[in-house]
């Protein structure tokens, strides 16, 4: 598992030195906005990078639900979970400095790159190592594909205004809808039918959907569907796999 024995010949017939050589696998950081561990978010990353050493850290690690700020009047509430599985809403502004501390921890752990497992933009996050962010990855891909009109599926209605604002600021014409990503959902069917000619693709602005979700929606509605989370995992794997 990552080792070659002393004296073994490689495929090119080169004999290894006297000391055994260790094949170094990439060390990747997984940054979650809730509490770690989050196998539902990290397992797809593990599948995409089976050889990688994953270091997972959460922005809310060490906190209790009682210590989280109230949700009333939040500008951009994000959905996440605590270690016990409890679902919580946390403001993006509250999470930003805690995410930076978590990212600093990953840098200290000497990861080669990190991935943010959240669709929020968190524009001020910085790291000495590459940081893959779903919003930035999707924005770059959409621009490269010439897709400027997007239908964005939001996880909760409270996120529609901030999600719409950041995609418009990035240069896109945006149509928003809040519904479960289920091809059998009646409101989603009606929204797609009424707006099909108004957008070039559908965007799942959330990290945590099942891997097959985007494909099922694409088959059902016959239009491109991009999942921010899986899109970013694929981008990371393309560089480090």
> What angle do the packed helices 228-240 and 134-144 form, to 10 degrees?
90
Residue 4 lies in a domain: no
Query: Is the same domain home to 69 and 112?
Result: yes
Q: Tell me, what's the pLDDT at 237?
A: 93
CATH number at residue 75: 3.40.50
Query: Is the same domain home to 42 and 126?
Result: yes
Query: Is the same domain home to 174 and 192?
Result: yes
Tell which wins on pLDDT, 63 or 75. Answer: 63
Query: Is the same domain home to 198 and 113?
Result: no
Those residues whose C-beta lies under 8 Å from the C-beta of residue 99, and which sit 6 or more positions away, are 31, 33, 59, 116, 122, 125
Cβ atoms of 82 and 91 within 8 Å: the answer is no
CATH number at residue 141: 3.40.50.1860
Q: Tell me, what's the pLDDT at 211?
A: 87
Residue 153 lies in a domain: yes
Residue 206 lies in a domain: yes
> What angle do the packed helices 39-48 and 228-240 form, to 10 degrees?
40
Query: Is the same domain home to 76 and 167?
Result: no
- What are the residues facing 174 on neighbouring strands? 150
Query: Is the same domain home to 69 and 166?
Result: no
Q: What is the pLDDT of residues 6-32, one digit of tens each?
A: 334 434 454 444 444 444 678 999 999
Query: Is the same domain home to 152 and 217?
Result: yes
- State the average pLDDT over residues 203-213: 94
Query: Is the same domain home to 99 and 168?
Result: no
The DSSP result for the chain, as a single string, is --EE-TT-B-TT-PBP-SSPEEPPPPEEEEEESS-S--HHHHHHHHHH-TTPEEEEEETTTT--GGGSPP-TT-SSEEEEE-TT--EEEEEHHHHHHHHHHHHHHHHHTT-SEEEE-SSS--TT---SS-EE-HHHHHHHHHHHTT--EEEEEESSGGGHHHHHHHHHHTT-EEEEEE--S-TT-HHHHHHHHHHGGG-SEEEE--S---TTHHHHHHHHHTS-EEEHHHHHHHHHHHHH-
Give the range of the structural domain holding residue 203, as residue numbers without chain letter: 137-227
Query: Is the same domain home to 120 and 236?
Result: yes
Residue 19 lies in a domain: no
Query: Is the same domain home to 180 and 66?
Result: no
pLDDT band at 119 (very low <50, low <70, confident <90, very high): very high
Residue 112 lies in a domain: yes
Q: What is the pLDDT of residues 125-143, one digit of tens each?
A: 999 999 999 999 999 999 9
Query: Is the same domain home to 111 and 163?
Result: no
Residue 3 lies in a domain: no
Q: What is the pLDDT of residues 29-42, one digit of tens each?
A: 999 999 999 999 99
Residue 6 lies in a domain: no
Query: Is the same domain home to 118 and 76?
Result: yes
Angstrom CA distances, 150 to 35, 139, 202, stand at 31, 11, 6
Domains of the chain: total: 2
């Amino acid at each position: 598992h990552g080792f070659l024995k002393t004296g073994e010949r490689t495929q090119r017939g080169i004999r290894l030195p006297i000391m055994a050589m260790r094949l170094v696998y990439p060390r990747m950081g997984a940054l979650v906005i809730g509490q770690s561990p989050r196998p539902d978010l990290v397992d797809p990353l593990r599948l995409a990078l089976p050889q990688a050493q994953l270091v997972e850290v959460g922005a809310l690690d060490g906190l209790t639900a009682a210590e989280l700020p109230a949700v009333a009047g939040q500008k951009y509430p994000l959905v996440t979970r605590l270690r016990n599985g409890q679902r919580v809403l946390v403001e993006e502004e509250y999470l930003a400095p805690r995410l930076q501390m978590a990212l600093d921890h990953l840098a200290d752990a000497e990861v080669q790159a990190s991935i943010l497992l959240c669709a929020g933009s968190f524009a001020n996050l910085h790291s000495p190592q590459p940081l893959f962010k779903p919003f930035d990855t999707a924005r770059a891909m959409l621009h490269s594909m010439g897709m400027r009109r997007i239908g964005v599926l939001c996880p909760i209605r409270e996120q529609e205004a901030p999600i719409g604002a950041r995609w418009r600021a990035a240069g896109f014409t945006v149509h928003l809808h809040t519904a479960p990503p289920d091809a059998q959902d009646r409101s989603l069917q009606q929204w797609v039918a009424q707006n099909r000619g108004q957008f070039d693709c559908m965007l799942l602005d959330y990290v945590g959907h099942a891997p097959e979700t985007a494909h099922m929606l694409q088959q059902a509605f016959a239009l491109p569907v991009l999942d921010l989370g899986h899109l970013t995992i694929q981008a990371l794997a393309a560089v480090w796999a």
